[in-house]
Structure 1
């Protein structure tokens, strides 16, 4: 696995924490905090799109 530069954890209510990371090859990663050895991987643009969609409320139905 390439070296991943992880951001500080984002934690919601009830301590549901996840981390975002990137590598030098242009990949983006999302992992549950403490489980960084098993991340989901996609492109940075896909991660940007996911974050934009979450901010606009497109994932609110999942909550």
Structure 2
């Protein structure tokens, strides 16, 4: 597995902070900030879809 490059944490008001990451193999990662050893992974397109749905209010209860 390639090394994960993590972005700066994203913190919404009143919610946990999370981080997004990518690797050179085209995988995307999401983890709670400070606990990057425990993450979910999928394709970059799947992560983009999740983020779009969250921003659209379709899945805000997940965060």
Could you list the runs of 5+ residues in structure 2 that have no partner in the other structure? none
Q: Which has the larger radius of gyration?
A: 1
More helix by share: 1
User: How many aligned residue pairs are there?
Assistant: 62
Let me know the Cα RMSD of the aligned residues.
Answer: 1.6
Alignment-derived partner of residue 24 in structure 1: 24
Could you list the runs of 5+ residues in structure 1 that have no partner in the other structure? none
With normalisation by structure 2, the TM-score equals 0.86
Alignment-derived partner of residue 51 in structure 2: 51
Q: Mean Cα displacement is larger for which, 14-23 or 3-12?
A: 14-23
Distance in 2 between the 1:11 and 1:55 partners?
A: 14
